[in-house]
Amino acid sequence: MERDDVIEYSLDAHHSDEDGKKIRKKIWIVTALLSIITIVEVGVGVLWPRNALGADSGAWLSIKLFYIVLTLVKAGYIILTFMHLGDERKSLKYVILVPYIIFMIYLMFIAFVEGSAINAIWAS
């Protein structure tokens, strides 16, 4: 018995071989870029452990900010690629991404200020 309420969408896909090659190339580029960023993050974590730099040094703060920036780059790229936001107009990208960026900056501010306050209390 064949059901007429189930639509097989794969039968309606009319992709040429060239389109398939473009899609596979884009997938490999995305995989490579995200892997490279992750490898850089892990490499920095291995090369500069917290104990070697000192918890209060400016170098440790710069490494934390470096991690945050790389993580935000990865998150933005994932949103642009896998949520197909990269195919939209620039104004729509800004309407969606700018509030998230502002919210992330706010969360980082709160985390750093409160973390510094707690650290100052524990140090005294």
Predicted TM-score (pTM) above 0.75: no
pLDDT digits (tens, 9 = 90+) for 2-39: 666 666 655 656 667 787 788 889 889 989 999 999 99
Q: For the chain, report the end-to-end CA distance as a whole number of angstroms.
A: 77
The model's confidence at residue 86, banded by pLDDT at 50, 70 and 90, is confident
Domain ranges (residues) in the chain: 18-87, 88-124
Q: What is the pLDDT of residue 28?
A: 92
